[in-house]
A and B are shown apart, each in its own frame.
Chain A
Amino acid sequence: MIDPNKILRRIQSIGAAIVDSLDYAGSFARLFFQTLFWVFVPPFKSERTFDQAKKIGIESLPIVSLVSFFIGVILALQTAYQMQKLSSEIYIANIVALSIVRELGPVITSLIVAGRCGAAVTAELGTMKVTEQVDALETLATSPVKYLVVPRFLAFTFMMPVLTIYANLVGIIGGYLICVYRLGIRSGMYLNLTFHSLQIKDLTTGLIKTIVFGIIIAMVGCLEGLRVEGGAEGVGKATTKSVVVSFILIIAADCVFTALFYFIFP
């Protein structure tokens, strides 16, 4: 015997989930357009953007270096494992360079920044929200979007490509060290193959992606922070959600862009 109440509850919960996601998408779009609007409204104070850029860019350098170096090393070793079977070690340089510049550099950097800085933004804005500092900003005739979201939006959008270029470089160095010192490929040849295989479009498509990822991290981080309700527990939940949502959106956007670029720039 099927309990009609149970079915009703199930339908209700599906409906609630749909309404929630639509509400989220709406808030996301709204915050994004509000941010774009406030970017062009004076007064312009660049110090806050520089502060954020420092936090996002310079302070992320050590961890970005470490992770991209390892990714370069791993990639070279894994590729070598296959290529040695086919006696085609000569392709390792190409594969490492292309994988890093087109895909792994942008994505890994974005995931690191989302985990490190996106979460920090949510926690900071969330704490400001629960201690009424966001309301206080409004009473002081200041838009929270202008004061809090715009500098973070600009900083993420500008720093992501910079960090990605740096991560690409470190990753290629990681691959280079393995190939030259472990696998016996000549240094000049490796470099030659690397730069020969890379085209401008590989770099630009990677960088376009990172700008979008930067916008995603900034918007999700700020939106989750400004939506916090319910004290310390709310801040914790929002921080977790911010990281999870950023990760999902980054990977989804990556998939869309990769497909798009595959067909646009074959």
Chain B
Amino acid sequence: MDQEKIIEILNVYKTFNSHRVLNDTSLAINKGETKVIIGRSGCGKSVLLKHIMGIMRPESGSVIVKGKNLSGLSIKELNNLRMRMAMVFQGGALFDSLNVGENVGFTLYEYSNLSPKEIDERVEEALCNVELCGIHKLMPSELSGGMKKRVAIARGLCIKPEIILYDEPTTGVDPITADSINELIRSLHDKFKVTAIVVTHDMKSAYRVADNIAMLYQGKIIAEGTPEEIQKTEHPVVHQFINGLSYGPITETIEKFI
């Protein structure tokens, strides 16, 4: 299977307060696939997403999106690239001062030449895609956690992106909403053929949406494979993580520090 790589992360290093979060991390994502990155909380999964979006710059190494090295781009080129990408933040990150419709259509209102009526139609279409038709007048503070996440997904969809990055889409919502979000991610993948990267530590969600799973541990990708391969893995760290065991190599290293 020789597919076109749409995102390549090559030997990226990133340090915060002398704590190395990304340590020679390399990862490639093929066009049209849904890649799930698993790992413990605080292991640098979100940081990796922010590198792909160009919000953070690597200390060394490079991030290549659609054949362009992000560190060599001007602000304008980077923003043009971002117009083809979307990121769904963990808490939604909706703008409190704008209503749902203005949030979802943000990029269109700011940059497109579409008439307000056309934008409204696009907004409504995006909201209906996440099964939230007709709520564009509400303010973000009036929404539940699950609705916020779905509105955030709608905001991503509104620009019809090629790449969507999800930061823990099922964290902090009830199991039924979590399942509907998984279903949504799956259906967007099938319907629009978008490339998706999902960062999560919810294994149920990972198996459900992934074409391919990669595990990030101590700043490195230690395992990669299809959900079946990952489930059958003999790698002790991955085995401990996916089965949620409190004893194993991950916790041993922590005990050593304590």
| Across-interface contacts of B50 in A (CB, < 8 A) | 135
**Least distance between A34 CB and chain B CB atoms (Å):** 10
The complex places the Cα of A236 from the Cα of B79 at a distance, in Å, of: 32
Interface window among B23-31, B103-111, B123-131, B232-240: B103-111
The complex places the Cα of A127 from the Cα of B97 at a distance, in Å, of: 12
**Contact indicator A131/B111 (Cβ below 8 Å):** no
Contacts A/B (CB < 8 Å), 15 sampled: A128-B96, A131-B91, A132-B91, A132-B93, A133-B95, A135-B53, A135-B55, A135-B89, A136-B89, A138-B54, A139-B85, A140-B107, A141-B79, A141-B82, A141-B83
Nearest B residue to A45 via CB reads B110
Count residues of B near A (Cβ-Cβ below 8 Å): 24
| Across-interface contacts of B90 in A (CB, < 8 A) | 132
State whether A135 and B111 are in contact (beta carbons under 8 Å apart), knowing that A141-B82, A143-B75 are contacts in the complex.
no
Interface string of A126-170 (1 = CB under 8 A from B): 011001110110111111000000000000000000000000000
Chain B facing A: main interface SS: mixed
Please tell me if A188 contacts chain B, counting CB pairs below 8 Å: no
The complex places the Cα of A138 from the Cα of B49 at a distance, in Å, of: 13
Chain B positions within 8 Å of A, measured between CB atoms, are 50, 53-55, 75, 79-80, 82-83, 85-87, 89-91, 93-96, 106-107, 110-111, 155
**Least distance between A143 CB and chain B CB atoms (Å):** 7
The complex places the Cα of A54 from the Cα of B106 at a distance, in Å, of: 23
Chain A positions within 8 Å of B, measured between CB atoms, are 43, 45, 127-128, 131-133, 135-136, 138-143
| Across-interface contacts of B93 in A (CB, < 8 A) | 131-133, 135-136
In this complex, the member of B80, B82, B110 whose beta carbon has the largest number of chain A beta carbons within 10 angstroms is B110
**Contact indicator A140/B106 (Cβ below 8 Å):** yes
**Contact indicator B53/A139 (Cβ below 8 Å):** yes
State whether A141 and B111 are in contact (beta carbons under 8 Å apart), knowing that A133-B95, A135-B55, A136-B95 are contacts in the complex.
yes
Nearest A residue to B91 via CB reads A131
**Contact indicator B82/A139 (Cβ below 8 Å):** yes
Contact of B87 among A45, A131, A139 (CB under 8 A): A139
**Least distance between A226 CB and chain B CB atoms (Å):** 13
**Contact indicator A43/B89 (Cβ below 8 Å):** no
Nearest B residue to A143 via CB reads B75
State whether A43 and B110 are in contact (beta carbons under 8 Å apart), knowing that A132-B93, A141-B79 are contacts in the complex.
yes
Contact of A140 among B75, B82, B91 (CB under 8 A): B82
The complex places the Cα of A263 from the Cα of B110 at a distance, in Å, of: 48
| Across-interface contacts of B96 in A (CB, < 8 A) | 127-128, 133
**Contact indicator A138/B53 (Cβ below 8 Å):** yes
| Across-interface contacts of B94 in A (CB, < 8 A) | 133, 136
7 nearest CB pairs, A to B: A136-B93, A141-B79, A132-B93, A141-B82, A139-B87, A132-B89, A133-B93
